[in-house]
Structure 1
Amino acid sequence: MHLKPPTYVDNAAVPEPREVLAVLTQHWKVIAFVTAAFLFFGVAASFLLVRPSYTSIVVFLSPHGSQTLKPIGSGLSAAMLNSPSLNDRIIQKLQLQTAWKLTTFADAREALKSQVQIEVSTYDVVKITVRDHNARLASDIANEYLNGLNALDTRLAESDAADRYGFLDRQAKQENDELRQAEDRLQELQRRSGLIDPSRQTAQAILNISQLHAVIAARAVDLQSMRRYASDTNPGVIQLRATIAQLERQLSDRQNDASPRAVGDIQIPAGNIADLALQHQRALREVTLHSNQSGQVMLQLAQARMNLMRTAPAVLVIDRAIMADYRSGPQRLLLWLASCWAGFFTACLYVFLGKAMALSGYDAASIRRLLRPKAGPGLNTPTA
């Protein structure tokens, strides 16, 4: 049997809308049946195959209450919420692998990632949306994100506070040791030189030297007067000269004396006052410097100790998740409309293909024969 040669239609001829409408009207029963069939399967699938879902939402501000850490921005909060350690903690605590009947822990991670949506606004407001087929489980997951973020921020704050406290404790010990050494050097200088209060001791040394100068001058006048009527061998002249010599030695000792000083002697030679005062000022400045630094470090150490003992929540919750009373999905009306549209489109495509085949001269039997594989050489092809 030979195939009927197809009758080709002019490609330039474009069907008019009336012709298209006429074809659809002619096969309206087929279109209605297919559309109704798709709608029936869509309704059945929406009730039997698609499980209802529930949504829980948590809204909070980024953590800013940590005194040891810098303020955490919303971007860092989102990164902390997406951290594998936090997700694994939620999966293990709520036993999501068992609740979702998954075989591996990795599948539970992927399922949790697909059901959680984290949104960050420009005002450091973080919104967590959780969708699940179990309303209570959805709210538990959302609230557990809050608890996990709070625990993570607290752990970071405690770690930072512990490191800061350890560093300040070592600095305080070092400053105390340096302060003690500076005080020992100042004490040794005071014991060796006898210089305790440079200003008063300097004034006293100058006063003593002035008094000795005055006494020596007075004795010199007495000696000059005595020599007018007494010889040099006169006992009074000899005694007066000895007294003047002794006073001059005392004056020399008061002005410059390099001999070792006895413990408790605070009479400072005037010639050594400038050098000893400079040494005393440097030693005292070093003691004051280390004393101020030690006081500041001790104050910071006390604050670090308070931060280490304080456990205040860092997450400022705006809205905590509650169990949803109504399901948020699936949108059955949208599924039904999509099923109707898919059925109508499929039916129209079937009708137009059938019409095109009829216009081309091919029937169903001819199409089946064309789709059969060709026989090889030497084989007899059965004819109808």
Structure 2
Amino acid sequence: MSETAKPAAEHSATTDEIDLLDILIVLVRQKKWIAGWTGVIGGTALVTSLLMTPIFTSTAKIMPPQQQSSGLAAMLGQLGAVAGAAGSIAGLKNPNDLYVGMLESQTVADNLIQRFKLMQKFEAETMVDTRIELSRLSDISTGKDGLITIAVDYKDPKFAAELANAYIDELIKLTQTLAVSDAAQQRLFYEKQLQATKDKLAQAEVSLKQTQEKTGMLQPDGQVQAIIANVAQLKAAIAAKEVELAAMRSFATEQNPDYLRTQQEIHGLKSQLAKLEQGQPEVGNFMVPTGKVPQTRLEYVRKLRDVKYYETMFELLAKQYELAKINEAKDSSSIQVLDKAAPADRKSKPKRALIVIAGILAGFFLGSLSALFRDGERGRSDKFKKLKNTILGTT
């Protein structure tokens, strides 16, 4: 046998000679030593658990909106091939992840920090430290049952419940300002367009009033009224179609049949408008181009035409807006609170029994290990002395 193989063989022989009986004999002989270790570490664990601050957990559960419900599915079904290309939130593997992300967002955290003055409460120096502490106390998760659970740990059970419920309040506020569903996106789009048209209508009415005061005209003749009404209706129809086309761009491609048809309709309406405003009237048609209107009335006609245009536009957009609100309502986009957080009447942490048991087991293990080395050090067991020297690499 080579010289390098001898230490390995000796170590194997020494290890094989140590059986369970030898270990039990040493443990019995060193029972006081082991009991001392177990008592000290177990007692330390008990004292530590008693000194730890009790923590209470308050839990709230919510049921987030069900995406892609029947109302929205029916609307996408009418679009045919567009439905396959529509970018929808339902494309997420789990739609609940969106709301969990919103609850864990910096926006929600900052609102909670301001609402409860958490920077002073946590005695944090910066907003970053406060957010980290808030995240440490909060546990937001989603389960297989489709519910989102918000759990808050804190030494004050009342504050823990208030903070958990505040998360729900902030989520509801956030969903009201963000479009998180297809129906909500459409409603928000038409809402902005309607408000802009309303402002322009008000400006046009003020401008018409100023023109009336300056020119002294109250009403043009019937022919001019008909011209104004037709031009306003055509312009409003064009604008409404353009708004519809802009809405379709969010979920349809340029090759979509509905998209192409809307473009053709806009082109046809613009052609009619150009003929009415600049071209020659058709034979037998009492309508005349607006360029033929006497110059003294032209300014008044233009102002009145703007008012009529924005009135018609406002009516068309109002109908689209109401329809979008109905679709959003059908889309079940409201967050429902299943369980509201209440102050806990029992602490959740620390688990004193587990801490003491872990301390006792750790004390017994360390005491037993040290007893084996201690017994070998005193020379009572050559086997364990050789084993200790082999492990430590000494001779």
Change (3 A) 1:129 1:44: same
TM-score normalised to the size of structure 2? Answer: 0.54
Match of 1:282 in 2: none
| 1:373 match | none
User: What does 1:163-312 correspond to in 2, within 5 Å?
Assistant: 163-167=189-193, 175-176=235-236, 182=272, 192-194=282-284, 297-303=317-323
Query: Could you tell me how far 1:111 is from its partner in structure 2?
Result: 1.6
Alignment of 1:48-59 (within 5 A): 48=51, 50-59=52-61
Does the 8 A contact of 1:58 with 1:319 survive in 2? yes
Asked if structure 1 preserves the Cα contact closer than 8 Å seen for 2:190 and 2:320, the reply is: no
> CA 1:11–1:193 in 2, change beyond 3 Å: closer, same or farther?
same
Per the alignment, in what secondary structure is the counterpart of residue 378 of structure 2?
Answer: helix
Corresponding residue for 2:28?
A: 25
Q: Residues of 1 paired with 2:371 and 2:277: CA distance?
A: 112
TM-superposition CA deviations, 1:190-243 (whole Å, max 9, x none): 9751268xxxxxxxxxxxxxxxxxxxxxxxxxxxxxxxxxxxxxxxxxxxxxxx
Counterpart contact for 1:31–1:348, Cα < 8 Å: yes
Deviations along 1:98-140, one digit per CA (max 9) or x if unpaired, are 2233333222211211221122134532111111122112111
Q: Which moved more, 1:185-194 or 1:100-109?
A: 185-194
Which sits farther off after the overlay, 16-25 or 64-73?
64-73
Q: 2:150 aligns to what SS in structure 1?
A: strand
Q: Which amino acid aligns with 1:176?
A: A
Greater alpha carbon shift after TM alignment, 97-106 vs 294-303: 294-303
TM-score (norm 1): 0.56
Amino acid at match of 2:21: R
The change in CA–CA distance for 1:189 and 1:23 in structure 2 (over 3 A counts) is closer
Q: How many residues align?
A: 255
The aligned residue for residue 357 of structure 2 is 337
Question: Could you tell me which amino acid in structure 2 is paired with residue 40 of structure 1?
Answer: G
Q: Which amino acid aligns with 1:19?
A: D
RMSD: 4.2
Alignment CA distance shift 1:307-1:99 (3 Å): farther
Shift of 1:341: 0.7
Highest Rg: 1 or 2?
1
Q: In structure 1, how many angstroms separate the alpha carbons of the residues matched to 2:317 and 2:237?
A: 13
Deviation at 1:36, TM superposition (A): 1.1
Structure 2 gaps, min length 5: 1-9, 73-86, 199-231, 239-268, 287-311, 383-395
Equivalent position of 1:35 in the other structure: 38
Q: CA deviation at 1:294?
A: 9.4
List aligned pairs for 1:324-363, cutoff 5 A: 324-359=344-379
* 2:129 matched residue in structure 1: 107
Deviation at 1:160, TM superposition (A): 7.0
Q: What letter is aligned with 2:38?
A: T
**Which runs of 5 or more residues in structure 1 are unaligned?**
1-7, 197-291, 362-384
Distance 1:42 1:18, change over 3 A: same
Report whether the alignment pairs 1:87 with 2:90. Answer: no
1:15 equivalent in alignment to 2:18: yes
SS of residue in 1 equivalent to 2:153: strand
Kindly provide the CA deviation profile for residues 123-166 of structure 1, in whole angstroms up to 9, marking residues without a partner as x: 53211111112211211111111001001001115997454323
